[in-house]
Amino acid sequence: MKISILVLVALCATRLLRNQSAAQRHWILAVAIVCAGVLPMLELLVPAWPLSIGSPSFAELTLPSHPAAATERTSTFSADRITRQAGAPVVGSARDAVRGWSTRSILALMWIAGVAMGLLVLVLGLIRLAWLRSRARPVTLANWTTLSEQIAREYGLRHPVRVLQSDDSSLLATWGVVSPTIMIPGGAERWPDDLVGMVLSHELAHIRRGDWIVQISAELVRSMYWFNPLVWLACRRLRLESEHACDDAVLRSGVDSSAYASHLLGLARAFNHRHPLFPAPAMARSSSLHKRVTAMLNDRQNRSPMSPFARVATVMALAVIAGTIAAAQVFATFSGSLVDPQGAALPGVRVTLSNAERQIKYDAQTNRRGEFEIVGLPPGDYVFEVQVPGFKPYRAALTMTGDNARRAITLEIGSVAEEIVIAGDGDSSSRAVQTASPRPNPPCPSTAATADVPIGGNIRPPNKIRDVRPQYPASVRGTGADATIVLDALIGTDGFLKDVRVREPANREFANALLAAVNQWQYDSTLLNCVPIEVAVTITGRFVHGR
């Protein structure tokens, strides 16, 4: 967007200065394109300043919820001692990360492919210029050499100019900086002296103005921003204005405009073959001929060259504009709300938004309505995280592009984990043990609401009140066999396990031994806001043949 603004400013300026000289318009476009090329580096150097565009508007985001962990309660049976501890967070799957980056990766690959294609075309064009130069022959005709030296002295050129002739009868172009070259077509030795003088004046004007290196720089910038139509338009206008400026240089030397236009039309008819992959100014391009002839025949057209002061002033003005655009940062706001599965607000929850590239982190806390707001966010990629005891931690990728964003987030209830170690040489009896008495239901706080939003997040985790110890299977006792069995289940609202599933692969004898025990377990109710709920549980049984 910043590149588009800078280029658009230059294009508008050239439009407003349409009555000024082509040299001035060309210089504005050239400086603007160079500034566009270095704008990414300016963004790293100049300090940022906030820019607010329009009134706040909230764009609803679809953020994938990546539960980074479950709130776990681990029970480990070691002899007759039970130890309970909180589980550690588990990082989300790599598949989620790949899915989150897929669109961005595709866009990056498309941009790289476009840049590579643009650079390839430019390199092939430069190779073609070198090939043409190697096959061309020096021009030794007196009228060409004499006029070339005379006009070069008038223009004040410091480097010697090579005039070469190609066998191609439709090729007339100029390129080079240290060792500039003018390539004339086959048959040019038969041209009259007045046409030779006009052609040399035009081509040597390109060399004096440095048009070739400017055009190559523009081609590089266009390769980087190949997806931006404004950059393409600016490069096209740059080439056209360079031809206009050189036409003005020829006419300032005293050449009759009608005669010059007539010769230019004759060259265009002779050079009706277009040369692809040719990164050099061409005098008689048919695509720009109408506008150029119209400008030549306009006696009121401003043809004055650009003064050094005007050049410096233009550079300073566009540099200030580019620096201002580079420093401008569009800051946005990310806001939202947190609720539990019952839709009740979660007040006083800390939320974080971090940007790894900038190494910054933003913190906020939800209000009594469960709402949060993080302001002053520059464009970039962020990670949004929420951790609340009893709930699954929430983690989501977020890309801010300058627009305000809002997200309503429902946190999921955490799960429970039980781990049991069953020794083969332990007690072989299986009996139920009353581990605790059922807890009385806590007094429910009044469902005070702020603007009809109930307050939630009150979780009472399950507590085992009846335990049955799994037994090492007698059929494999003494064989030295070990096994790990993992069960997934739900703790129902009545406290018993339901929907018990064995994770495969699993040894059936060990799995049956674990199932026989856990199906007799009982918990007291898990409560959310004083309402019994079901909660997921993972039970891991580790069978070892000895202590």
User: Can you tell me the distance from the alpha carbon of 535 to that of 492, in angstroms, rounded to the nearest whole number?
Assistant: 7
List all residues 6 or more positions away from 529 whose beta carbon is below 8 Å from its beta carbon.
Answer: 340, 342, 344, 444, 447, 454, 456, 457, 458
CA distances from 413 to 65, 87, 537 (A): 13, 15, 11
First-residue to last-residue Cα distance in the chain = 68
User: Can you tell me the distance from the alpha carbon of 13 to that of 434, in angstroms, rounded to the nearest whole number?
Assistant: 86
Query: Tokens 């050449």 map to which residue?
Result: 255
Residues 29 and 16 in one domain: yes
pLDDT of residue 181: 93
pLDDT of residue 282: 57
User: Can you tell me the distance from the alpha carbon of 144 to that of 195, in angstroms, rounded to the nearest whole number?
Assistant: 11
**DSSP β-bridge partners for residue 233:** none
User: Can you tell me the distance from the alpha carbon of 252 to that of 334, in angstroms, rounded to the nearest whole number?
Assistant: 61
φ and ψ of 279, to 5 deg:
-85, 65
Residues 382 and 481 in one domain: no
pLDDT in tens, 348-369: 999 999 999 888 999 999 999 9
Write down the mean pLDDT value for the chain. 83
Q: CATH number for the domain including 374?
A: 2.60.40.10
| 70 has pLDDT over 50 | no
Domain contains 127: yes
39: left (phi over 0), alpha (psi -120 to 50) or beta: alpha
pLDDT in tens, 117-141: 999 999 998 998 899 899 999 998 8
Of 410, 438, 454, the position where a domain reaches its end is 410
Nearest alpha-carbon partner for 351 in 368, 335, 369, 331: 335
**Domain carrying residue 452:** 416-544
Residues 147 and 222 in one domain: yes
pLDDT of residue 95: 40
Angle between helices 22-45 and 211-224 (to 10 degrees): 50
**DSSP β-bridge partners for residue 453:** 450
The full DSSP string for 270-307 is HT-S--SS--S-BTT-GGGHHHHHHHHT-TT---PPPP
Residues 289 and 343 in one domain: no
Domain contains 488: yes
Residues 308 and 184 in one domain: yes
Domain contains 75: no
pLDDT of residue 24: 94
pLDDT in tens, 497-514: 999 999 988 899 999 999
Residues 314 and 362 in one domain: no
Domain contains 79: no
Are residues 495 and 524 in contact, defined by beta-carbon separation less than 8 angstroms?
yes
User: Can you tell me the distance from the alpha carbon of 440 to that of 423, in angstroms, rounded to the nearest whole number?
Assistant: 35
Q: CATH number for the domain including 430?
A: 3.30.2420.10
Domain contains 211: yes
How many C-beta neighbours within 10 Å does residue 245 have?
23
Number of domains forming the structure of the chain: 3
pLDDT of residue 238: 94
pLDDT in tens, 240-291: 999 999 999 999 989 999 998 888 888 887 776 555 555 655 555 655 678 8
Domain contains 76: no
Of 286, 306, 325, the position where a domain reaches its end is 325
Residues 260 and 118 in one domain: yes
pLDDT in tens, 11-46: 999 999 988 999 999 999 999 999 999 888 877 676
Of 410, 436, 470, the position where a domain reaches its end is 410
pLDDT of residue 285: 60
User: Can you tell me the distance from the alpha carbon of 227 to that of 315, in angstroms, rounded to the nearest whole number?
Assistant: 26
pLDDT of residue 58: 36
Residues 300 and 174 in one domain: yes
Domain contains 72: no
Residues 446 and 388 in one domain: no
Q: Is the model more confident about 51 or about 158?
A: 158
Q: For residue 110, what is the enclosing H or E element? A: helix 94-135
Residues 109 and 240 in one domain: yes
> What angle (nearest 5°) sits at the alpha carbon of residue 416, between those of residues 412 and 422?
160
Distance of CA 208 to the CA centre of its chain: 41
pLDDT of residue 279: 62
- Name the DSSP class of 115: H
Residues 260 and 212 in one domain: yes
Query: For the chain, what is the largest distance between any 2 Cα atoms, rounded to a whole number of angstroms?
Result: 118
| 83 has pLDDT over 80 | no
Residues 260 and 285 in one domain: yes
φ and ψ of 329, to 5 deg:
-125, 130
User: Can you tell me the distance from the alpha carbon of 351 to that of 443, in angstroms, rounded to the nearest whole number?
Assistant: 29
Q: Give me the amino acid identity at 430.
A: S
pLDDT in tens, 161-193: 999 998 888 888 899 888 899 999 888 888 999
CA dihedral of 274, 279, 281, 285, whole degrees rounded to 10: 20
